[in-house]
Amino acid sequence: SAVDPRTRHFSEFPEYLERLAGEYDWSRRDQEQQQDDDEMKVQNDGDGDGSNEMSRNEQQPIKKKAPPTAIAMFCTGGIRCEKATSYALQSNLFPQNLPIYHLEGGILSYLDDVAKREKQEEE
């Protein structure tokens, strides 16, 4: 799912990236995530006798999100994406085997390329 860092200056990006990385449990594998989800559902559903129900005053532990399989970034002109991708790769906030991509040249370059391809197809 897409996220917007809502940063106005690149100097705000490292702090945002640290917060974002902290929202995920990077130690989980897909299979472990499914097993945890199944166990949590059983605990929450209970068997109908009320023995597994939590009182409304009890807090459930905060469960971190399953990690993404890749990260893709895009920016208007591309320069910030190159800096952001470089920072993300060097930050050690993400596993080394997590692919991190950026749209080369930014969204403006991409839209220009699409327009050129469409024009060539019309000819």
Using a cut of 0.85, tell me whether the model's pTM lies above it: no
Note the pLDDT of residue 42: 59
- The one catalytic residue among 17, 75, 81, 84: 75
Count CB neighbours of 32 within 10 A. 12
Note the pLDDT of residue 19: 92
**What is the Cα–Cα distance from 59 to 97, expressed in whole angstroms?**
35
pLDDT along the chain (123 residues), means of 10: 85 92 76 58 53 47 80 85 90 90 90 95 91
Note the pLDDT of residue 77: 81
Note the pLDDT of residue 34: 60
Note the pLDDT of residue 29: 45
Q: Where are the beta strands (DSSP E) in the chain?
A: 71-73, 100-102
**What is the Cα–Cα distance from 13 to 65, expressed in whole angstroms?**
21
Q: Is 81 considered catalytic here? A: no
